[in-house]
Amino acid sequence: MSDIDNFPTLFRTQVPLIDTRAPVEFERGSMPTATNLPLMNDTEREAVGRCYKNEGAEAAIALGHQLVTGSLKEDRIAAWIKFANEHPDGALFCFRGGMRSGLAQQWLKDAGIDYPRISGGYKALRRWLIDSSDNIYAQETFLVVAGKTGCAKTRLINHGASGGRLPGGIDLEGMANHRGSSFGRRDGGQPTQINFEIAVDSAIFNANDEPVPFIIAEDESRLIGRCALAQNLQDCLKSAPMVVVEASLEARVEHSFENYILANLADLKTRLGDTKEAFEHFSSDLYAALDRIKKRLGGVRHHELTRQLDDAIASHLKGDTSVHRGWIAALLRDYYDPMYNYQLENRKERIIFRGSEGDVAEFLLAQQHEPTPE
* Residues recognised as catalytic: 94
Beta strand extents in the chain (DSSP E only): 3-4, 17-19, 34-36, 91-93, 117-118, 142-147, 215-218, 223-224, 227-228, 242-245, 351-355
Closest C-alpha to 91, from 65, 121, 132:
121
> CA 364, CA 358: separation in Å to the nearest integer?
10
CB 124 within 8 A of CB 95: no
> CA 71, CA 279: separation in Å to the nearest integer?
45
CB 278 within 8 A of CB 269: yes
Q: Which helix (H) or strand (E) holds 12?
A: helix 7-12
CB 73 within 8 A of CB 39: no
The per-residue b/e assignment along 51-84, b for 16 or more CB within 10 angstroms, e otherwise, is bbeeeeeeebeebbeebbeeeeeeebbeebbebb
| Sequence letter at residue 19 | D
Beta bridge partners of 144: 217, 242
> CA 74, CA 68: separation in Å to the nearest integer?
9
> CA 207, CA 201: separation in Å to the nearest integer?
10
> CA 18, CA 189: separation in Å to the nearest integer?
24
> CA 314, CA 296: separation in Å to the nearest integer?
26
> CA 340, CA 170: separation in Å to the nearest integer?
22
Residue 91: is it exposed, middle or buried by C-beta count within 10 angstroms (0-12/13-18/19+)? buried
